[in-house]
Structure 1
Amino acid sequence: MASAARGLVEQLPDGEERWMSELAEHIANRHRDAPTPLSLREPWLRAQPRPFRLRLWAHVVQSAADGMDAWEGYLDAAAAELAAPGDEHPEDLALA
């Protein structure tokens, strides 16, 4: 997966699709025990559904922890994505 994402990154011009391919590459590398820092673009992130934003923040926090980065600094942003009481959705618990 990381190799396929890297191939896309190398072929795409600068822009959202290239950034999303880089994000996919970073996530795939983390799963191969080769973590690299992840960054999320705020305007793009806000446009995503809340359950998906929460999963992305989980990747950011775990990637920071895997890479011995200051993962604690990401917790407030990740916690802000948690559902308010009564706003829970089954998708909040999806692992993929």
Structure 2
Amino acid sequence: MANNKSAKKRIKINKRNRLNNRFYKSSVRTLNKIFLKNLETYKISKNLDDKVKVQKILNSIYSLLDKGTKKNVFHKNTAARKKSKLANSLKTI
């Protein structure tokens, strides 16, 4: 256990940052799964509504990745790689 005031503060700050990082990382993973599931649906149906839905999910993933990069949750190259992979998966249809 921490013995001085600054060490106690660092523990609180580390906990806060860990929860923020976990939020961004888990949200990106969850949206990624939803995106891929809806992408498969769009591949089968070729419906315009499905494409709009997939595009909205992609935009929200981009937003979370960019915000996470700004807050140093993700390295900029990691975010770029993830965004590129998702864009290519939509593009190949």
Task: Give the TM-score of the pair, scaled to structure 1.
Answer: 0.37
Task: Give the TM-score of the pair, scaled to structure 2.
Answer: 0.38
